[in-house]
Structure 1
């Protein structure tokens, strides 16, 4: 396998682990250790870690290595607010009521986290502005780790998502924009509890 192909494979596999929440918050990501499990040398692993750090999916410091981010309540509030603004922009110029024909199909996903990502990513991919698409997809990916905590904290999560999905399928853009804004404001209010759910059970409360 060529070096470029190896780098891409390692990046995809490592990114999937990060998005799946494989590494607890604050855990160090050592290239040498990861290389063994990824079946690669440390160099492509290190390159992939730098790329993920550039996407803000992990954190890095000069000469300090890499780690899974430790998210604080304020971090979640900022991320939720940012995602809400980007989604609103992606839906801004659509008519108040128009069938969704011609847009990307919304896949049926029984899992709350996967379904939420599918809806928001579908909205992102149908946006005309390439920069907006890129920023929104990045925000969606950085939020993936939060979804499992959201559904544990908020029993209404699946119902809220179903209502947004229905508005999308019927092209009810005004209603969808309103529901997306309310969804993220709700998450901001719940940010402290979501952070607590993300923290490993052995960690002391701080």
Structure 2
């Protein structure tokens, strides 16, 4: 195992590169080349790639090595369904948290705002597994969310509406979260096409 002072920065850099779509889907991730690019030995790069395989952000194919996974229509529908079910369950079974009044997001973009709002709602369940699952789903959907407003220009309005409903503890919150996910599930083919042509 690599020392933490090398492993963690390498892991974070690899993960952020994947989340931000630095490499196209199905790109082969060569440990030697990554090690050279990152200025580290191959051992921490391999350790990080294996960790990312465990998180589902990298695939390992015997005889081929590591690759950036391809998001499929079914995979996207499944992720959206999981996210919607978990968030609605967290809202319905949990205790609303004292949610600060929504203000203009200081986050770097739409994808980060969606992740933050959904993760906050997952926290209502007081169930660490819910929060961990939503965090993982958010990671898998991050790249898609960076481009989805090209197809769904009301995305910002939708997520800010959800944040407002959470602040007011509205009974319409579950329905708004369901609708947010359903709109995207209906348009998975278009979203996948948008992702592939970015």
Three-state SS of the structure 1 residue aligned to 2:66 is strand
1:145 pairs with one of 143, 146, 153: 143
Cα displacement (A) at 1:176: 1.6
Cα deviation for residue 171 of structure 1 reads 2.2
* 1:93 aligned partner: 93
Aligned equivalent of 1:114, options 102, 107, 112:
112
1:195 corresponds in structure 2 to 192
- The residue number in structure 1 matching 2:6 is 6
Structure-to-structure mapping, 1:29-108, within 5 angstroms: 29-94=29-94, 100-101=97-98, 103=99, 108=105
Q: How far did 1:155 drift?
A: 1.6
Q: Residues 106 and 122 of structure 1 are in contact (CA less than 8 Å); yes or no, is this contact kept in structure 2?
A: no
TM-score between the two structures when normalised by the length of structure 2: 0.89
Taking structure 1 as the reference length, what is the TM-score of the superposition? 0.86
Give the distance between the partners of 2:41 and 2:101, measured in 1 at CA.
40
Contact 2:91 2:174 in 1 (8 A): yes
Question: Deviations along 1:3-55, whole A, 9 cap, x unmatched?
Answer: 12211111111111111111111111111111122121111011101111111
Partner of residue 17, structure 1: 17
1:127 equivalenced with 2:125 (yes/no): yes
Structure 1 residues 110-119 or 139-148, which shifts more?
110-119
Instruction: Tell me how far apart the structure 2 counterparts of residues 151 and 42 of structure 1 sit (CA, whole Å).
Output: 38
**Runs of 4 or more consecutive aligned structure 1 residues displaced over 3 Å after TM superposition:** 103-107
Q: What is the aligned residue count? A: 195
SS at match of 1:92: helix
CA distance in 1 between partners of 2:43 and 2:94 (Å): 46
Query: Deviation digits for residues 70-127 of structure 1, max 9, x if unmatched?
Result: 11111111111111111112212246xx6x52x5786724621111111112223443
Residues in 2 aligned to 1:94 and 1:188: alpha-carbon distance in whole angstroms: 25
Task: Give the structure 1 partner of residue 174 of structure 2.
Answer: 177
Q: Secondary structure of 1:13's partner?
A: helix
Cα 1:129–1:106 shift into 2, 3 Å: farther
| Aligned alpha-carbon RMSD (Å) | 2.1
